[in-house]
């Protein structure tokens, strides 16, 4: 029996290391998923703050200042605010404004924002001068953007006829 004891110990040790390694992978996946969800919810809150500002200032066009966004939408991390931006474009047709929020996140973040907003089709991914929605069941047809947004950025695009 003494001859097999080191062998049995080695097999058990390898088994425990394999289990620990698998648990570590699951924890890393859960952390990534939580970060995507958090970024999606932050992007939704950011978009909602920009929309609130626009609705309270219907003749506004340009970029809504960060100070206005944080006073409406609450606290955002400085790293998040350093990545996102917005633009309100007056189209020249009637009193229409197009509100675009964007940031360099993955499509998964746009999907999480859409899910958090009950499958809102206004969230998607920019292809430069066009964008496609990330909502479940939404058309995959590219739609025009009122201004060019860097390809690959996630966007929220809402047109308001004031």
- Give domain limits for the chain: 5-161
- Alpha helices, DSSP H, located in the chain: 5-56, 66-73, 78-83, 107-116
**pLDDT recorded at residue 83:** 96
Mean pLDDT to the nearest integer, 136-156: 93
**Beta pairing partners, 126:** 131
SS3 call for 130: strand
**Residue 8 vs residue 157, higher pLDDT:** 157
Q: 55-82 burial string, b = 16+ CB within 10 Å, else e? A: eeeeebeeebebebbeebbeebeeebbe
**Residue 33 vs residue 118, higher pLDDT:** 118
Contact between residue 105 and residue 83 where contact means Cβ atoms under 8 Å apart: yes
The CATH architecture annotation of domain 5-161 reads 2-Layer Sandwich (3.30)
**pLDDT recorded at residue 58:** 92
Instruction: Kindly tell me if the per-residue pLDDT of 94 is higher than 60.
Output: yes
Which tens digits make up the pLDDT trace of 5-55? 555 555 444 444 444 444 444 444 456 788 888 899 999 999 999 999 999
């Amino acid at each position: 029996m003494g001859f097999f004891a080191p062998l049995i110990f080695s097999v058990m040790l390898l088994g425990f290391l394999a289990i620990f390694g698998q648990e570590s992978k699951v924890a890393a996946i859960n952390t990534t998923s939580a970060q995507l969800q958090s970024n999606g919810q932050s992007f939704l809150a950011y978009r909602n703050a920009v929309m609130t500002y626009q609705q309270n200032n219907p003749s506004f066009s340009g970029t809504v200042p960060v100070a206005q966004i944080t006073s409406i939408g609450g606290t955002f991390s400085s790293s998040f605010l350093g990545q996102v931006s917005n633009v309100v474009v007056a189209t020249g047709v009637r009193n229409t404004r197009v509100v675009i929020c964007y940031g360099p996140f993955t499509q998964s973040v746009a999907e999480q924002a859409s899910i958090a907003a009950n499958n809102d089709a206004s969230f998607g991914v920019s292809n430069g001068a066009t964008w496609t929605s990330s909502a479940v069941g939404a058309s995959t047809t590219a739609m025009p953007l009122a201004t060019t947004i860097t390809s690959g950025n996630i966007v929220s695009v809402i047109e308001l006829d004031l």
